[in-house]
Structure 1
Amino acid sequence: MIATAVVALALGRLTAWPTIHRLRTQLANATWSLLHDPLTGMLNRAGLQAAHATLAKTAPAQPLIVALIDLDDFKRVNDTHGHGRGDDLLIQVAERITDIAAVHGGVAARLAGDEYTALLPARADDLDRIADTIATIIAQPVALPAEGSPATVTITASMGLALVATSDPFTEVALHRADIAMYHAKRNGRNRHAIYQPGMTMPPAQHRRGPRLRDQHQPTGEATA
């Protein structure tokens, strides 16, 4: 009887294994979806917050560069080439920003629409040089696939950078300061960057766009820029 019970238990485990494996896969996929952008595969806002929280625990009070990257006149790409090609452009820009962040030992995310963020450890590189590197790589021509003739587009970006500590709150301080700097870059002509300085505030409303996707989905109580 003992042998029979052992065999029955083994058979039961073998029978249950496919179900367990499927459930684990579904859980892993669901977890990945919660933290990543479905179009580009980058971290999303939640994923970036989780990465920041990990940095705050493992490297408390260490200097951190926050770069907020907003593509200039992206709507023109959608209007001229269609939303499908616009998505292709977003994906290729995402790959470039992800690669830059990895080279600097950081992480990158797509917050919403045509807006990206990178968290980079502050080492020997200065903020101006990092911004120039990001801008140069983003501005390289992008070949967009198509069933007919392929299209090649060039797009620029406006950036706001802030030097913060890993212990600073992500939304209320780190991202907010980079957001302020980014709007100053937009105000000064786009295709450029600005670095947050103590006391810097949001430019007048006429230099700002309407509500962004990431603002519309922002949890109640968080600071907006």
Structure 2
Amino acid sequence: MFTTLLAIATIVAAILGAGVGYLATRPTITRLRAELADAAWQLTHDPLTGLLNRTGLRTIHTTVATASPLQRLVVMLIDLDRFKEVNDTHGHDAGDDLLVEIADRLAQVAHTYGGTVARLAGDEFTTILPLRHYLAGDIADRIVSAIAAPVNVQVDSGLATVTVTASVGIATVVSTDPLQDIALHRADIAMYHAKRQGPGRHVVYADGMTMPDRVHRRGPRLRDLRRDQRGSAE
């Protein structure tokens, strides 16, 4: 993808820099600009839900850190509970329908509070919100409630109504804190503690909080299942 993006950018730059045959090349320039924009979008967005992906999230985080280095942020890691049951019962297409609907709901909540949301992988999402007058726990409650509302998904026999819950880990950080090593890591730890309390719960990261041992984690998460499957294959 990086190679494709670079190639398109190089072609556009060459045509724009030539300054010859403006009228003749204008449609080509317009098309190449559109292709460049499309390639950039694919690089930073999840193709299923249209949300930011990890690359897009890093880009947004870097932009915020550069523009507002002292900005306090609320980072939430959201993991769906029992999502695997939907896939196993109704199929992966139904699971995709569910993810798209959940993504839309998360985006609405995040935008309400001036933040953004990304799909990290599988059934994992994250939000980054500016810390203002609201309580992070109140937003997490709203997120959990939005996700828990029934969703209609397409199945072979027509429509089926499914419900899932979510476990949410919350971390408050400064915009210049590393995204992966501090912000998401702390939210991940808190999220595992939320799962230990049962479905549909949220936990705020506190200093000294550590990742629970595997045997004491409650879930399991799809990430853990995939890791176990890789270990068994090896």
Counterparts of 1:22-61 in structure 2, within 5 Å, are 22-61=31-70
Percent identity between the aligned chains?
Answer: 54
- Once the two structures are TM-superposed, the CA of residue 189 in structure 1 deviates from its matched residue by 1.7
1:155 corresponds to 2:164: yes
Counterpart position of 2:12: none
Post-superposition shift, 1:130?
1.1
Q: Does 1:90 align with 2:117?
A: no
SS of 1:157 mapped into structure 2:
strand
1:21-170 matches, cutoff 5 A: 21-146=30-155, 148-170=157-179
Could you tell me how far apart the structure 1 residues matched to 2:25 and 2:33 are?
12
Change (3 A) 1:210 1:149: closer
Helix, strand or coil for the counterpart of 1:150?
A: strand
Distance 2:223 2:100 in 1: 19
* Paired position in structure 2 for 1:4: none
For 2:138 and 2:180, how far apart are their aligned partners in 1?
Answer: 25
Equivalence for 1:223: none
Pair 147,21 (structure 1): closer, same or farther in 2 beyond 3 Å? farther
Match of 2:223 in 1: 212
Aligned length: 206
More helix by share: 2
Segments of 5+ residues of structure 2 without an aligned counterpart are: 1-18, 228-234
Read off the aligned partner of 2:158 and give its amino acid letter.
S
Q: Aligned to 1:108, what secondary structure does the other structure show?
A: strand
List per-residue Cα deviations over 1:162-193 (Å, max 9, x = no partner): 11111111111111100000011112223211
- 175, 198, 204: which is aligned to 2:184? 175
What is the aligned partner in structure 2 of residue 13 from structure 1?
22
Amino acid at match of 1:107: T
Structure with larger Rg: 1
Please give the alpha-carbon distance, in whole angstroms, between the structure 1 residues aligned to 2:113 and 2:148.
Answer: 19
Matched, 1:195 2:221: no
What is the CA deviation profile of residues 119-165 of structure 1, one whole-angstrom value per residue up to 9, with x for unaligned ones? Answer: 01111111211111110111011111346321111110001001111
Counterpart amino acid of 2:141? D
Return the alpha-carbon distance in structure 1 between the equivalents of residues 164 and 187 of structure 2: 21
What 5-or-longer segments of structure 1 have no aligned partner? 1-9, 217-225
CA contact (8 A) 2:151 2:163 kept: yes
* Structure 2 length-normalised TM: 0.83
Q: What is residue 220 of structure 1 aligned with on the other side? A: none
CA 34–86 in structure 1, closer or farther in 2 if over 3 Å, else same: same
Structure 1 residue runs of 4 or more that deviate by more than 4 Å after TM superposition: 208-211
